Amino acid sequence: MTTTIEDRMILLLNEQARLAPGEDERPEGALRRAFGTLLPRPEPGRGYLERLTEYTRISVQRWRKVFHRRQRPTPDMIEALARLFPHYAFWLVTGITDAANGHVAPDNAQTFPERLYAQSDGASQYFRKSLVLFRRLFEESGVNLEDDHQRMYAAERTRPLAHWHDSPLVDAAYRISQSREYCELREIWESREKYRADDLKRIWPTSPDDRPWVQRAKDAKEQGLSFPILGVDPRTAHQDHCDLYYVPRAPCPTRFALSVLNTSPAELTGEELECLRTWLKKLQDDDLSVFFQYLEHHGIDRELIFPWEPGTIRFAWLGMAESEIDRFVNYVQRLRSSRPCDTYPARAG
C-alpha cells in the first residue's frame, strides 16, 4: 500500500494553508496575459478552509474533519479539489505524477518515480480552460444536473449496432466548438506545444551543462563568486530543480565495498568480521545503502537485521544502532559456526 487519497488531500490542503496569498500563482507569461485567469481559486494562507467553503459549498466542518482524519474524503470533495487544481488531479487520485504533461504534485509531497514539481504553464492553462468549456457544455444543453437519470443520459455514449453514437450533448458540443472560447482553447494548446520543446530541453537536456543556470553557476565560480544557500538538504543537493527523475549520486567506493562485497557472510574471517563491525559503527553518506546491497546480494532478509517496528521510520543518514550491528554480527557468527570447519584459510590479496 502507498499513500492514500486522505494523505494526499491533507498535503494539498496543508500546502495551501501555509502559503502566503498569491504565492501559489506561478508566473505564466504570455499565456496568462493573453487568456487571463481562467478559473479563480480561493487565496491561500490563514483561513484557507473558510475560503474553500465559499468556493465549493462544502462546509468548513467537513473540510476540517478530513484534514484531521475524522472522516474520509467524499467524491464531491475530491472532485472540488481536482477542478480547482487540475494540475494536481492526477496525483491526487493516483499518487504518481506525469510532470512532462503537466500533472505534478504540491511542493510538500514526496513524489516517486518522478521528482519534478515545476508546473507546465501551458498545461495548467489548458486543463483549466477545458474545465470551463466542459461546464459550459452541460449548462448550454439544459441538463438538470440534480437529476441522476438526466445526467447519465446526457453523458453516456451508446453502441446500438456496429458504431458508437454520441450522447445528446454532441449538438451543443458542435455549437460551442464555433465559439471564441473554444478557439482560445486551441490557441492555448498550440502555445503549449510551441514551448514544449524548450520545456523538454530543461527537463531532459542532452547534457546537464546545457542548462543556462548551470553555465551561470560555472561562470560565477570562475569569477570567485559564491552564493551559499542555508538549509539545503545534503541528500538532494546534487539534483537540479528541473530534473524529471531521481539521479543517484556518483557512487563512492568504500573499503568495505571493495574488499568484502562479494564475500559470503559465512566465509568472512574473524578479522574481517571485526573490521566490518568497526565500519558499521562509522557509516557515512551512502555506506548504509551499500550494506543493504550486500544483504540483498547474499540473500539475507533485511528484517533479520532491521526488524520492522510499527510507527518507526528509518533514516539512512543516522547509521545503525548498536543492537542492529550486534544482530548482524551474531547472525554471521551463527553462519560460520554451522559450517563443517570453523577455520578458514586467509585469502590471497
The C-alpha cell that represents 105 in the structure block: 504534485
Would you say residue 259 lies in a domain? Answer: yes
Higher pLDDT, 132 or 310: 132
Summarize pLDDT for 153-168 with one digit per residue, the tens.
Answer: 999 999 998 999 999 9
Q: What is the pLDDT of residue 33?
A: 38
Would you say residue 219 lies in a domain? Answer: no
Arithmetic mean of pLDDT over the chain: 82
Q: Span 123-137, mean pLDDT?
A: 93
Number of domains in the chain: 2
Q: How confident is the model at residue 34 (pLDDT cuts 50, 70, 90)?
A: very low
Contact 332, 271 (CB under 8 A): no
* Count of Cβ atoms closer than 10 Å to residue 56 Cβ: 19
Q: Span 107-134, mean pLDDT?
A: 92
Would you say residue 218 lies in a domain? Answer: no
Q: What is the pLDDT of residue 187?
A: 93
Summarize pLDDT for 306-342 with one digit per residue, the tens.
Answer: 887 776 665 555 678 888 899 999 998 888 887 665 4
Residue in the structure block whose three cell numbers are 546545457: 210
Summarize pLDDT for 214-236 with one digit per residue, the tens.
Answer: 666 667 667 766 555 567 787 78
Note down the domain range covering 291.
Answer: 255-337
Beta bridge partners of 245: 114
Would you say residue 59 lies in a domain? Answer: yes
CATH number, domain of 60, equals 1.10.260.40
* Count of Cβ atoms closer than 10 Å to residue 215 Cβ: 11
Distances (CA, A) of 236 to 211, 214, 231, 258: 18, 16, 12, 25
Q: What is the pLDDT of residue 28?
A: 43
Contacts 24+ apart (CB under 8 A), 62-65: 63/13
Q: How confident is the model at residue 23 (pLDDT cuts 50, 70, 90)?
A: low
Q: What is the pLDDT of residue 271?
A: 84
Interacting residues of 255 by C-beta distance below 8 A, sequence separation 6+: 279
Radius of gyration of the chain (CA): 28
Q: Which of 83, 118, 153 is the last residue of a domain?
A: 118
Q: How confident is the model at residue 194 (pLDDT cuts 50, 70, 90)?
A: confident
Q: Is the pLDDT of residue 27 over 60?
A: no
Query: In terms of C-beta density within 10 A (0-12 exposed, 13-18 middle, 19 or more buried), how is residue 276 classed?
Result: buried
First to last CA, the chain: 46
Q: How confident is the model at residue 239 (pLDDT cuts 50, 70, 90)?
A: confident
Identify the CA nearest to 137 among candidates 95, 112, 92, 168: 168
Q: Span 38-60, mean pLDDT?
A: 88
DSSP 8-state secondary structure symbol assigned to residue 165: B
Would you say residue 85 lies in a domain? Answer: yes
Q: How confident is the model at residue 94 (pLDDT cuts 50, 70, 90)?
A: very high
**Omega into 113 within 30° of 0, i.e. cis?**
yes
* Count of Cβ atoms closer than 10 Å to residue 233 Cβ: 7
Q: What is the pLDDT of residue 136?
A: 93
Would you say residue 83 lies in a domain? Answer: yes
In angstroms, the CA 72 to CA 81 distance is 14
Backbone angles phi, psi at 300, to 5 degrees: -95, 125
Beta bridge partners of 165: 158
Q: What is the pLDDT of residue 303?
A: 86
Q: Which of 85, 118, 151 is the last residue of a domain?
A: 118
Would you say residue 205 lies in a domain? Answer: no
Would you say residue 278 lies in a domain? Answer: yes
Q: What is the pLDDT of residue 349?
A: 43
